[in-house]
Structure 1
Amino acid sequence: MTEQEILQTFRNNVNPCLRTLGGGIAGFDVGTDTTTMEWTATRDHCHSVVGHPRGGVVQGGIVTGWIDAAMAHACIAKSRFTVVVPSLEIKVSFLLAAHPGKYRSTGWITRWGKSIAFLEGELRDMDGELIARASSTAALRPLKPPEA
């Protein structure tokens, strides 16, 4: 599959949780198996911080979800849509607070085994400032066709 075919397949089959997280797929590099996703953080993604000058601080689980989605999409794309990738473990280092606004996460594969993948990812604001970095271990499970 070409990069455009992979992106179109993702866009035709949007995971509903991506709507909740406020974003979706923006790119996939076939040469590096790297996925890029873009997100819009709203006040609904934030801890309630009355009077916060930047509109609040995005909850850490949302930030984790943004990076996790990029890492998982990298695996799905590399497999050409033949696996699902449940997370076995994920570690996130939060370096700066995220606030309402636009963000970009990237995810890539550091090791691809027979049944396990080791992944890394990061979240940056639109100026390129590093907000968070993650590593994850995911199971590679064959995608089973829906039952008729």
Structure 2
Amino acid sequence: MNSTHPDFASVDIGALSDAEALKILNARTTEPVKILNGEVIELDSKRGFCRFRFEIVPAFCHSQGRVCQGGFLTGMVDTAMAHAAMAKGSFANAVPTLELKISFLEAAGPGFVTAEGRVVRWGGSVGFLDGDIRDEKGRLVVHATSTIKIVRPRK
């Protein structure tokens, strides 16, 4: 299968189990995920679900290094949601974001956070996603929703 997503054009990742796909995703980490200190820790293609672990470092923070800047958190939750959508489409589709809404509910500082992305609705050309970030104490830090364009391979 050819993927319309450039990161997966050379790998038939859709033919792999979720566990095998997870290994490939972590072995071939994209630059944005590297910059955000992220790794995929769970993937469920049938549900359209993905869980990431990210490390917030002081360089991501303001307020004397105590509060993570919102753009980094946005990148983290967007990454989790996009990977959930890519998994739902067997990594064959590109899933550019059309709309993204972020609600910042708590401050997060240096340490580890978990970001989850979920496919809420998978349509013919548009998908609806939601996602959350929780800190090490389990507090809900960010909630997000996203609308994506589903770009399928040409036959």
TM-score (norm 2): 0.84
Matched, 1:29 2:39: no
State percent identity of aligned pairs: 36
Count of aligned residue pairs for this structure pair: 139
Out of 124, 129, 132, the position equivalent to 1:119 is: 129
Compare 81-90 and 23-32 and name the one that shifted more.
Answer: 23-32
Matches within 5 A, 1:95-106: 95-106=105-116
Q: CA deviation at 1:21?
A: 1.1
- 2:60 equivalent to 1:45: yes
Structure 2, unaligned stretches of length 5 or more?
1-15
- Aligned partners of 1:32, 1:127: CA distance in 2, in Å? 26
Which stretches of structure 1, 4 residues or longer, exceed 4 Å deviation after superposition? none
Q: CA deviation at 1:120?
A: 0.2
Task: Tell me which protein shows more strand as a share of its residues.
Answer: 1
Per-residue CA deviations over 1:68-113 (Å, capped at 9, x if unaligned) read 0000000111111101111100001100001001000000000001
1:89-144 CA distance string (max 9 Å, x none): 00011000010010000000000011111000000012211001000001111358
- Cα drift, residue 32 of structure 1: 2.5
Q: Give the aligned partner of residue 61 of structure 1.
A: 71
Unaligned 5+ segments in structure 1 are none
Once the two structures are superposed, residues 1-26 of structure 1 have per-residue CA deviations (whole angstroms, 9 ceiling, x without a partner) of 32212212312321110011111211
